[in-house]
C-alpha cells in the first residue's frame, strides 16, 4: 500500500516585509488549501510582530530566526524545517514582496508534483518584457553572461527567487554554502556538478514600485552574488599568467614548443589545483586530495593535448605565440571549469544524492514555530 505524498510547501523568506506578504499567503491558501505556506521571519524584530501575526492568521506557519541571518540562511532554515516536519513534501521558494504571480507559484509546484522523483530544480525564469528597472535588467544580463561563461550552461534568469526543489534534494540544498544572496547563485553553480538538472519554466516579470521593496544592496550583495563566479575566473587568470610567463621563458630557452607547453602547464597546474580545491570548489565534505589530484592530472593531461594542438595550429597559421596562447586559453577555460566541477572536485555521492541525513538549521541557533520552540 503506497503512502500519499504531501502537497508542496511554499517557503517564503521575509525580512521586514510589507503588507504584500499577507496577501501572498491569503491568495496561496485560497488557491491551494492542501499546500502549506511556511514563512521564515529572518530576524525582522519586534516592530514586525503584528505583521507576522497577520501572516499566521492568513494561514501560514511562521518560523522565526532570532537575528537577521540573510536570505540564504532563512531559506535553509525553512528547507530544514520542511524536511523534518513534512517528509516527502517538495518545496517552492518564493519571494515575500508580491512580485511572483500566484499562477506562476502554483505552476512551479505542479511541475514538481508531476515528476516528484526527478533530479532537477525547477526555475521560474522571468522573461524581462515590459517595464523593468534598469539596475535589474543590467544586473541579470551581466550575471547570466558570467554564469554561462563559468558553468557552460545558459539560464535566462539566474537571479530568480521562484524555485522548486524536490523532497529528495532538500538535504543537498541545505548543504550548499552561503548565508545571504550568494546562496542562490551557489545552488545553480553546484547543481551541475551534483548531477542536478535545471528545469526552466517561464514566468511573468513583475516589479512593484520600481522594486523599491527589495532589501538587496547593490554593491555589497552584488559582490556576494558574483564572488562564486569570479573566484574561478580569477583562479584561471592567475594560472594563465603563470602558464604564459613560463611558456615564453621556456620557449626562449629551448626553442621547443612541445617541451615549453608541457613545462609551463606542469608549473601552472599545481597552483591552479591548490587554489581551486581550497577556494573555488570547497565543500563541507571534501573529496580526498589523492583522488582529486588523480582526477585533476587526468583532466590536465587531456587539456594539455588540446592546448598543444590549438596552439600549434595557431602558430602554424602565422599568429605570434602570445596572442595564440591567449586565444587558446579563452577557448578552453569554460571546458576546464565544467570538467573540474563535474568530475575533479565532485563530492562523494554527488551523482547518487549523497547522504540522506536529516538537514539541520544552518544558523546553529534555535528557531521558533508559531512562537514555540521547535
272: which 3 cell numbers? 591552479
Top CATH class of 9-216+353-373 equals alpha beta
More confident residue, 354 or 245: 245
Q: Once rounded to an integer, what is the mean pLDDT over residues 96-106?
A: 92
Q: Once rounded to an integer, what is the mean pLDDT over residues 250-264?
A: 85
Please report, rounded to a whole number, the percentage of residues in the chain having pLDDT higher than 90.
Answer: 37
Q: What separation in angstroms does the CA of 151 have from each of 187, 192, 275, 287?
A: 12, 8, 18, 20
pLDDT digits (tens, 9 = 90+) for 83-95: 999 999 999 999 9
Beta strand extents in the chain (DSSP E only): 9-14, 36-42, 61-65, 91-93, 120-126, 163-165, 197-203, 368-369, 372-373
Query: 120 forms bridges with which residues in the sheet?
Result: 197
Q: CB of 176 within 8 A of CB of 187? A: yes
Whether 61 shows a pLDDT value over 80: the answer reads yes
Whether 2 shows a pLDDT value over 50: the answer reads no
pLDDT digits (tens, 9 = 90+) for 211-227: 444 444 444 444 555 66
Describe the crossing of helices 321-339 and 134-151 by its angle, rounded to 10 degrees: 90
Q: Where are the domains of the chain?
A: 9-216+353-373, 228-282+288-344
pLDDT digits (tens, 9 = 90+) for 322-338: 888 788 877 776 677 66
* Cut 0.75: pTM above it: no
Q: Once rounded to an integer, what is the mean pLDDT over residues 129-136?
A: 58
Position 229 scores a pLDDT of 63
* Least confident among 108-122, 127-141, 285-299: 127-141
Q: Over 172-194, what HEC string results?
A: HHHHCCCCCCHHHHHHHHHHHHC
Distance CA 276, CA 271 (A): 9
Amino acid at each position: 500500500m503506497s503512502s500519499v505524498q504531501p502537497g508542496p510547501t511554499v517557503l517564503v523568506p521575509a525580512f521586514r516585509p510589507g503588507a504584500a506578504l499577507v496577501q501572498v499567503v491569503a491568495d496561496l491558501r485560497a488557491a491551494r488549501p492542501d499546500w502549506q505556506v511556511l514563512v521564515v521571519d529572518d530576524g525582522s524584530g519586534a516592530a514586525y510582530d503584528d505583521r507576522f501575526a497577520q501572516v499566521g492568521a492568513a494561514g501560514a506557519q511562521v518560523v522565526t530566526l532570532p537575528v537577521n541571518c540573510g536570505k540564504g540562511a532563512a531559506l535553509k532554515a525553512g528547507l530544514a524545517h520542511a524536511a523534518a516536519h513534512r517528509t516527502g513534501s517538495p518545496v517552492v521558494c518564493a519571494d515575500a514582496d508580491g512580485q511572483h504571480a500566484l499562477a506562476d507559484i502554483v505552476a512551479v509546484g505542479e511541475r514538481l508534483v508531476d515528476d516528484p522523483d526527478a533530479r532537477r530544480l525547477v526555475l521560474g525564469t522571468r522573461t524581462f518584457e515590459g517595464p523593468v528597472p534598469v539596475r535589474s535588467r543590467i544586473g541579470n544580463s551581466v550575471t547570466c553572461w558570467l554564469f554561462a561563461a563559468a558553468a557552460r550552461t545558459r539560464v535566462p534568469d539566474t537571479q530568480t527567487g521562484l524555485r522548486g526543489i524536490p523532497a529528495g534534494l532538500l538535504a543537498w540544498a541545505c548543504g550548499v554554502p552561503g548565508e545571504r544572496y550568494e546562496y542562490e547563485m551557489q545552488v545553480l553553480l553546484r547543481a551541475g556538478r551534483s548531477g542536478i538538472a535545471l528545469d526552466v519554466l517561464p514566468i511573468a516579470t513583475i516589479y512593484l514600485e520600481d522594486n523599491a521593496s527589495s532589501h538587496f544592496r547593490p554593491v555589497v550583495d552584488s559582490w556576494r552574488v558574483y564572488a562564486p563566479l569570479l573566484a574561478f575566473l580569477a583562479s584561471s587568470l592567475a594560472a594563465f599568467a603563470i602558464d604564459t610567463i613560463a611558456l615564453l621563458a621556456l620557449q626562449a630557452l629551448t626553442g621547443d614548443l612541445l617541451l615549453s607547453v608541457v613545462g609551463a602547464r606542469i608549473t601552472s597546474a599545481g597552483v591552479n589545483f591548490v587554489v581551486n580545491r581550497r577556494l573555488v570548489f570547497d565543500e563541507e565534505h571534501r573529496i580526498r586530495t589523492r583522488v582529486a589530484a588523480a582526477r585533476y592530472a587526468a583532466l590536465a593531461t587531456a587539456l594539455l593535448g588540446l592546448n598543444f594542438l590549438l596552439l600549434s595550429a595557431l602558430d602554424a597559421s602565422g599568429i605570434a605565440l602570445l596572442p595564440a596562447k591567449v586565444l587558446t586559453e579563452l577557448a578552453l577555460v569554460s571546458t576546464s571549469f565544467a570538467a573540474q566541477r563535474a568530475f575533479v572536485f565532485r563530492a562523494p555521492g554527488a551523482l547518487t544524492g549523497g547522504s540522506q541525513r536529516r538537514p539541520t538549521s544552518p544558523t546553529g541557533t534555535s528557531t521558533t514555530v508559531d512562537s514555540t520552540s521547535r
